[in-house]
């Protein structure tokens, strides 16, 4: 996957392509290059601060009556690797991160920490390239696209499935729209969620009036099957 592919996938267009290239470069890849290239760790450091500012502003405006303690709890959930990895997964970000062959073989493209770090690096790169508002718009739009709810998102079916897989040391699930039926104003979407477990694929199909609803249904079915085994 290329920078151009990432820009097409996200709708972002960087003036400085080196910044986004750096944000998508894992240290395992960078160290193998001659001469060495920059990895995303410095941008991750910067992006972490950008992320906290975005979330702090978002929560401060949304919850004018919440105490500092409650806002801090909400912010802690939103900067956690599992949420950032989930957002990265919605972009298929793992396919764009440059990893060494060994790291890729070890499942680095699906590792929550790798995905979360890359998300922070991308926010840092976007801030550097286009400013705070662009970084904020990108992140908040992602939250809206995945249907994030400040109070309950960490307990939805997709998140529950992801957490279960991570505890088992398994790769993150892949979601794919199989088909849609019905008129535009009343469509039904069918989505498959699939994982690899013991080298054998496991999958479930869900349906709903939106892609997000179908994904949630599929995740619930698959998690139910996995935990029943």
The residues assigned a catalytic role are: 48, 120
**Separation between Cα atoms, residue 43 and residue 118, nearest integer Å:** 9
**Separation between Cα atoms, residue 77 and residue 16, nearest integer Å:** 32
Asked if residues 172 and 193 have their Cβ atoms less than 8 Å apart, the reply is no
**Separation between Cα atoms, residue 21 and residue 32, nearest integer Å:** 16
Report the 10 Å Cβ neighbour count for 194. 15
Q: 102: which residues sit within 8 A by CB, 6+ positions away?
A: 28
What is the SS3 assignment for 166? Answer: helix
Q: Token pair for residue 134?
A: 């662009």
**Separation between Cα atoms, residue 10 and residue 42, nearest integer Å:** 22
Asked if residues 169 and 196 have their Cβ atoms less than 8 Å apart, the reply is no
Asked if residues 131 and 15 have their Cβ atoms less than 8 Å apart, the reply is no
DSSP 184: G
């Amino acid at each position: 996957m290329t920078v151009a592919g990432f820009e097409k996938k996200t709708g972002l267009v960087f003036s400085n392509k080196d910044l986004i290239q750096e944000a998508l470069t894992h240290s395992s890849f960078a160290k193998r290059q001659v001469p060495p290239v920059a990895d995303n760790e410095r941008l991750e450091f910067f992006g972490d601060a950008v992320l906290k500012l975005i979330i702090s502003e978002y929560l401060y405006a949304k919850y004018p009556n919440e105490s500092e303690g409650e806002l801090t709890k909400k912010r802690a959930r939103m900067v956690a690797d599992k949420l950032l990895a989930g957002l990265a997964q919605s972009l298929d970000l793992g396919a764009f991160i440059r990893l060494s062959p060994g790291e890729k073989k070890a499942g680095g493209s699906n590792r929550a920490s790798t995905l979360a770090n890359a998300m922070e690096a991308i926010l840092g790169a976007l801030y550097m390239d286009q400013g705070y508002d662009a970084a904020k718009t990108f992140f908040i739009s992602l939250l809206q696209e995945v249907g994030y709810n400040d109070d309950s998102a960490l307990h939805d079916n997709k998140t529950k499935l992801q957490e279960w897989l991570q505890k088992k040391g398994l790769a993150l699930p892949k979601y794919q729209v199989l088909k849609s039926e019905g008129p535009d104003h009343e469509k039904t979407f069918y989505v498959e969620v699939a994982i690899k477990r013991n080298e054998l694929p496991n999958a479930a199909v869900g349906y709903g009036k939106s892609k997000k609803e179908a994904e949630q249904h599929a995740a619930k079915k698959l998690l139910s099957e996995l935990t029943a085994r």
